[in-house]
Amino acid sequence: MSTLLILSPIVLVAIAAVAIILAIKSRDKKNETQKKIMQSGDRGELKVQQVLSNLENPKSRYRVYHNVKLGPDEEHTNEYDTLVIGPNGIFHIETKNYGGERGGIIDIDSNGNWILHKKSGYSKIITNPAGQLDSHEYRLQGFLRKVVGIRNLPTQGIVVLSCDHITLRDNQKDKSELPVIGRHELVGYIRSYQNGKKLLYPRTINKICKNIESMNHMAKAN
């Protein structure tokens, strides 16, 4: 009995040590997975930035911002992957690098659920980005109203699939008004966009951009 009493604390310490080691390994694995997801997202955003460089030349009528925060005040903001401001509207763009470099298929079922099928054969449900774009639209409208002081400007959210090897199959009963397009379609979509007859004059674009830069404490965009 005395031997067991002596060994018990040792056994308990050993069990605790194993539990701690397993917890650390689990945490490190989770952190590594999150790191890979963020790196994949960063690569996707860089691809979209390269495509949009066509709109960033000095003679362009468009202004482009990446990774900026907007909202009705500095305490209530959303972070936007990309914003494009031009004579035909204000575009807030959410980049999704679904499928990574290898690609796959995205199925949108009749209820609006998104299912990603990777080329490895693995499938998973992914979050429908419509909610995220709705939130961005809400914050953008608050920014335009309360910070810029302008209402009823044409705005449009866009989901851009940055992977070149991803296929979208949309089976929704009621088609969404949210455009989901490939990165190579983005510039053409923006340039041809028309929603109403209201245009943004250069002074309006300059006012919007000045407030974007002020809220983000950044230098003037090209």
pLDDT tens per residue across span 38-91: 444 467 789 999 999 989 888 899 999 999 999 999 999 999 999 999 999 999
| 136 Cβ contact list (under 8 Å, min separation 6) | 78, 80, 92, 94, 157
Pick the residue with more confidence: 219 or 33?
Answer: 219
Report the pLDDT value the prediction gives residue 1, as an integer from 0 to 100. 52
| 177 Cβ contact list (under 8 Å, min separation 6) | none
| 165 Cβ contact list (under 8 Å, min separation 6) | 99, 101, 102, 103, 104, 119
User: For residues 101 and 156, what is the distance between their CA atoms, to the nearest angstrom?
Assistant: 27
CA dihedral (82, 83, 84, 85) in degrees, to 10, reads: -170
CA 160, 162, 168, 171 torsion-angle sign: negative
Confidence bin at 32 (pLDDT 50/70/90): very low
Report the pLDDT value the prediction gives residue 35, as an integer from 0 to 100. 42
Two tokens, residue 38: 């963020």
Report the pLDDT value the prediction gives residue 3, as an integer from 0 to 100. 52
Domain residue ranges in the chain: 3-215
What 3-state class would DSSP assign to 41? helix
Check if the beta carbon of residue 102 is closer than 8 Å to that of residue 119. yes
User: For residues 104 and 122, what is the distance between their CA atoms, to the nearest angstrom?
Assistant: 10
Q: What's this model's pTM, rounded to 2 decimal places?
A: 0.78
What 3-state class would DSSP assign to 177? coil
pLDDT tens per residue across span 121-167: 889 999 999 999 999 999 999 999 999 999 999 999 999 999 999 99
User: For residues 48 and 82, what is the distance between their CA atoms, to the nearest angstrom?
Assistant: 9
Helix or strand holding residue 76 (H, E): strand 76-86
* C-alpha separations of 221 from 33, 63, 131 in Å: 34, 7, 29
